[in-house]
Structure 1
Amino acid sequence: LETEETHATTYANSASNSNIIKQNGGTLLHSVDVTNPSTLPKSSSLFSTIIFNFPHVPGKSNNLHNRNLLKSFFQNVDPLLHPSGSIKVVLNSPQSGFDSLTSIDWKASWNLSLQVLPSHVLTSVDPFDINHNLSSYRGSDKSFTTVSPQTYTFQKSGKVCEGYEMCSYFELHVEASSDTPTLPMIEGFDLKISFLEDLEDINTKVYTVLIVATHSSLSHTMANGIREEIETYVTSHPQSQKLRSNKRNRLPSKPISLILYLSSVSPPSPLINLLESNNYTPQTTSLNLDLWGLLHSGSQPYKRVLLTLRYLYLKKFTLNVLSNSSKRLPETKLHLEKLGFTVSQFSSIVTSGEACSFYLSSLPSPKKIFVFGSGAVDDLSYVTDSGHLISHSITECDIILARGTFLIHTDPPISKSGTYESDVKELLEEGKGKEMIVCNPDVYRPDAVKVKEEDLDVMPGKIAMWYSEILSDSGLPTSTISSLIYQIGKPHPLVFSVIDEEDRSPIKLMFGDSLMTDVRGSNFRNGWKSVWTTENGIHRGLDLNNEIKNYDIEPDHIIPTFTL
């Protein structure tokens, strides 16, 4: 890194940041080179945490140099790390190689898993919270671009991973005319091969091979040795067809990196135990996942969720998203990608917002629609794209659309404030008798803290409840009220029907945090079973037995979180 003088003259905040560190008892070292052990700290004490944020070799990008930088870093800081300490490396998600789904992506990455010492294991992958200025672009005080940056945490296996097993995963390329290759029997390891894709343009079939250690931990070196043994066996086995070879006369196979460590001495996670004890296999069962409250908090994924999805995807489970988000599909995918999710892992993504958009498009047009909106830029285009017209008057509209709770599209618009409930009820009173379509039946936000009912942050489902109360107070019978309010999303049937049409799995598990929507909706569907997750989302911190009793809903399964 830079000398103290260079750092001070290059970065505008150098002096102030240095003072903050020193005032809090920290020590600053300059001219540190992780590839040169002599420049590293000399101390009798070991470090509990060593962090390397966005490692990069200066100059034009060269992946080989960056890989060597990481390898040297892990080798040289290992003696400085306390046995129970951790190493955290922050990289853009594509740079790590952990989410590489193609050979091109893998070759373009820094192969993080191959640079780590065999004694280090990956214990978590978490989104990197960018709350400071990311400067140092090409040695200057300029920021650089990030793409889903993640913090990869490693720990020494001697302390945290005794008795653990590793799943190693790689691609095997064979001639298109070949049958599925036969794999050797290797004691202590479970080998599985699955067809991945047919690359017709180069007359090649691609298979994926999963190596699972059954009795002991599996290092990177050992995994690569087994990979080479499999290649040698397949090429020499008399039953095998000729395989494609590269210039080194070796199969063009690609290790897809360290995937996961599973404990063989402690009990499996509640999620794994649920799947295994009930024989929910990839061949019979699809996993249907809520988003907010199950996979993420609205702003970042929950801890270990990304690793969990990756593991289940590689296990060949069908993963579907079934969410009450009022966003349409493109916006949903974009939001998930920004949070660090790999969208291609999901077979289907169904949101109530997308289903509602299709429903609007099916109505005879044009209808005049009054919108309770989310405040998003597409509130109005959501209506016009479906062939309908915007009405800024609730008394003159044909349909009331409850899409969000942040902006009421009157003229001028009404933003959410302390009088929101009274503002909405006043308008609903004026428009009573109109048909209402609800794009998100959720009543409260999943991150709401339930202290008092009136303190909870409401969702469009609450607007529907207020409207139902107003219609009931006006003397309308329940059957008429039900015909006037059409809710699209869980627990109502339409969105479940979409999944049923696209996914033919005999068993569909619905994972979610809400008894009212996720559990209730799946409990009334043939072939569906509910899995209630309780540590995050709307019911967190509450008495679970009381919640089940109050809502009169009994889930099929209960687990704390959707994590391994």
Structure 2
Amino acid sequence: MTDTTLPKPIAGLSDIADRYDLFVVDQWGVLHDGAKPHAGAVEALTRLKATGAPVALLSNSGKRVADSYRRLEKLGFDRSLYDLCVTSGEQVHRGLRDRADPFYAALGPKFVMFAWDPDRGIVDGLGYQEVAEVDEADFIICAGTDRPSLAEYEPVLRRALDRGLPLTCANPDRVSVQPDGSLKICPGAIAELYETMGGTVRWHGKPGRDAYDAIRAETGIRDGAGLGIGDSLAHDIAGAAGAGMDGLFITGGIHRADLPDPATPGSVAALGAEHGAVPAYYSAGFTW
């Protein structure tokens, strides 16, 4: 681990890439904005893969990994540019499928789902039944947001709480940056509200340790120095730290309005302290 008091600014990944044996890279806000790749991101990923160190893409997406592969290919990120992709949605799918975790083993067959769209790949073929109302459900799958504000979820969450329904969160992000630069509420905000109300929530994704352990196991880099790259201090940078990795914070993502332009070591350190995760390095974008 890097022993520093203040985060170090870097011009690009070429400044530090030779120090690491494994790279874990966020998708949304780092590689792309959902509509197009960020400037320099395809080249940076290409150069990173050329170092020979494994490159894993780790996303708090509420969808399965296959959806990420399709999206990335469409946006210009060829499958050859990274070794594997892990999503929190895939982790939920496996939990529902295997029922090895006590949380999943105790679930009934009927669920209500909050989602971005009609895609139900997270539960397809698993034998669960989707219902329209929480009054009929045994649990909630929170994989997207389909209402414009958090307040609009409160009535349904109160009914769910009255019935003691557990909720599994397939995307722990609280907000995401849209292509126009605006912020949109994400499933993590709903799950956090429900937990605050007293509801039972099973979280998946960053900053949890499970996905990082899975990446190390699959790549075989169990003890090598790793670098986690992302634009969320509470998820990407905290997750990397919890997994024993250094963090490279991309300041041009969800926190860009929280920092001066250009960011300074002091401003990044102060913001990181607010979110419980001070990165080793920072850069405006994911560039080589």
Task: Give 2:246's aligned residue.
Answer: 529
Task: Give 1:469's aligned residue.
Answer: 196
Paired residue secondary structure (1:293): coil
Q: Of 289, 299, 309, which aligns to 2:45?
A: 309
- Any conservation in 1 of the 2:90–2:122 contact (CA below 8 Å)? no
- Any conservation in 1 of the 2:175–2:186 contact (CA below 8 Å)? yes
Show the 5 A alignment for 1:259-298.
269-276=11-18, 279-280=19-20, 285-298=21-34
Identity %: 27
- Any conservation in 2 of the 1:384–1:390 contact (CA below 8 Å)? no
* CA offsets 1:268-314 (integer angstroms, 9 cap, x no match): 943211224xx33xxxx111110001111111111121112222222
Distance in 2 between residues matched to 1:338 and 1:487, nearest whole Å: 29
Task: Give 2:113's aligned residue.
Answer: 371
Task: Give 1:444's aligned residue.
Answer: 175
Task: Give 1:552's aligned residue.
Answer: 276
Task: Give 1:511's aligned residue.
Answer: 229
Distance in 2 between residues matched to 1:485 and 1:309, nearest whole Å: 34
Show the 5 A alignment for 1:87-98.
none
- Any conservation in 2 of the 1:318–1:347 contact (CA below 8 Å)? yes
Task: Give 1:430's aligned residue.
Answer: 159
Kindly indicate whether structure 1 or structure 2 has the higher relative contact order, using CA contacts under 8 Å at least 6 residues apart: 2
What's the offset of the Cα at 1:330? 1.5
Cα gap change, 1:443/1:332 in structure 2, threshold over 3 Å: closer, same or farther? same
Distance in 1 between residues matched to 2:191 and 2:92, nearest whole Å: 15
Task: Give 2:208's aligned residue.
Answer: 492
- Any conservation in 1 of the 2:69–2:79 contact (CA below 8 Å)? yes
What is the root-mean-square deviation in Å for CA atoms of aligned residues?
Answer: 2.1
Q: Which has the higher strand share?
A: 1
Is 1:299 the equivalent of 2:35?
A: yes
Query: Residue 294 of structure 1 aligns to which amino acid in structure 2?
Result: V
Distance in 1 between residues matched to 2:44 and 2:234, nearest whole Å: 25
Is 1:385 the equivalent of 2:102?
A: no
Task: Give 1:72's aligned residue.
Answer: none
Show the 5 A alignment for 1:70-219.
none
Task: Give 1:174's aligned residue.
Answer: none
Task: Give 1:362's aligned residue.
Answer: 98
What's the offset of the Cα at 1:449? 8.8
- Any conservation in 2 of the 1:491–1:520 contact (CA below 8 Å)? yes
TM-score with structure 2 length normalisation?
0.84
- Any conservation in 2 of the 1:383–1:390 contact (CA below 8 Å)? no
Cα gap change, 1:448/1:493 in structure 2, threshold over 3 Å: closer, same or farther? farther
Q: Of 126, 131, 138, which aligns to 1:398?
A: 138
TM-score with structure 1 length normalisation?
0.44
Distance in 2 between residues matched to 1:330 and 1:550, nearest whole Å: 35
Task: Give 2:4's aligned residue.
Answer: none
Cα gap change, 1:466/1:518 in structure 2, threshold over 3 Å: closer, same or farther? same
- Any conservation in 2 of the 1:366–1:387 contact (CA below 8 Å)? no
Q: Of 64, 70, 74, which aligns to 1:334?
A: 70
Task: List runs of 5+ in structure 2 lacking aligned partners.
Answer: 1-9, 100-104, 260-266
* CA offsets 1:336-366 (integer angstroms, 9 cap, x no match): 1110111122111101111111111122576
Query: Residue 297 of structure 1 aligns to which amino acid in structure 2?
Result: D
Query: Residue 115 of structure 2 aligns to which amino acid in structure 1?
Result: G
- Any conservation in 1 of the 2:238–2:276 contact (CA below 8 Å)? no
- Any conservation in 2 of the 1:513–1:533 contact (CA below 8 Å)? yes
Paired residue secondary structure (2:168): strand
Distance in 1 between residues matched to 2:179 and 2:38, nearest whole Å: 16
